[in-house]
Structure 1
């Protein structure tokens, strides 16, 4: 392995570490802020570093970041449970093996899909589009998985599922992901060259 390849691999590992650290900080700050947040909308923002990492580092490392997001969700639901923690941890009341599917698989896909969307238009528009679809993928796959595997616990109808996809935090999450991805990807791409 040449020195430049070693340097590139070490750089990618360092960048992965930074993205994971950002995800942990976002998760911790979100928990603190949302305890005093006066609004009913509490958007998830942890998926944004996964989306940006997918575009900047490639789909394999994006999948790893998605796995890390799933692990954050799993650990948070296991050690700081809320009423819906069973969706992400088999150790929460009403959780089971499918909780691991809901926690990890949608997030891993969020780490893969944006890279391929960005390949269609490698510009600010493509980055924004990747952010939008990455965020939408997270929302749709998590809620669909919850509906499929935990409908007895959630008592959701299909109509309620669709309404929750459209009307909940997903709009705020998609806007945030679109704007931040479009703003940050061009800057980070230039820095990596």
Structure 2
């Protein structure tokens, strides 16, 4: 095996991961600025989209790492700039506990893993769209279900309310956005990777 090729490949992968992380941070910061003036109650989360795309293009291990970074962003944001629901993502704010770390990290890591396998069942543009939709839906379902299981004393939700929240909140906008972006960008990025 050519060691120079291996070193260049690893360096390239680290650079690509760095680009994905920079995109995630950029999306997070721009979202915070926009949503401070946003007049609507729906505030879509878009940071998970680079995680989904990274999972498909770079593989599930790097996708899991990007998911971990997304969880870290959520954890740090909730700890350093808390809002009323920050206890769901940080044990260091009032009402938070160890399960806050579970919610911050585990669903996001799973979002970095599953799209890779979904895409590899249908290796085309439509498979990328389905993986994008599924990754976004998984993020919403796992975060809200975990909140329901671990923090229902604070949230006081019924199961019916949980299901209605999953269906009617940002989840539809997020899933459609992820589907469109994955369908558009994944084939292009895969060509560059090959």
For normalisation by structure 2, the TM-score amounts to 0.98
Long gaps (5+) in structure 1: none
Q: Secondary structure at the match of 1:122?
A: coil
Which residue of structure 2 lines up, in the alignment, with residue 41 of structure 1?
Answer: 42
Q: Secondary structure at the match of 2:112?
A: helix
- How far is the alpha carbon of 1:38 from its aligned partner? 1.6
Which residue of structure 2 lines up, in the alignment, with residue 69 of structure 1?
Answer: 70
Spell out the pairing of 1:95-110 with structure 2 (5 A cutoff): 95-110=96-111
Spell out the pairing of 1:8-157 with structure 2 (5 A cutoff): 8-157=9-158
CA distance in 1, matches of 2:123, 2:39: 38
Which residue of structure 2 lines up, in the alignment, with residue 183 of structure 1?
Answer: 184
CA distance in 2, matches of 1:56, 1:11: 13
CA distance in 2, matches of 1:67, 1:17: 14
- How far is the alpha carbon of 1:40 from its aligned partner? 1.6
Q: Cα RMSD between the aligned structures?
A: 0.7
Q: Secondary structure at the match of 1:9?
A: helix
C-alpha distance after superposition, 1:25-56 (max 9, x if no partner): 11111010011112221000000000000001
Which residue of structure 1 lines up, in the alignment, with residue 7 of structure 2?
Answer: 6
CA distance in 2, matches of 1:110, 1:40: 25
CA distance in 2, matches of 1:62, 1:145: 21
List, as ranges, runs of 4+ consecutive aligned residues in structure 1 with deviation greater than 3 Å. Answer: none
Long gaps (5+) in structure 2: none
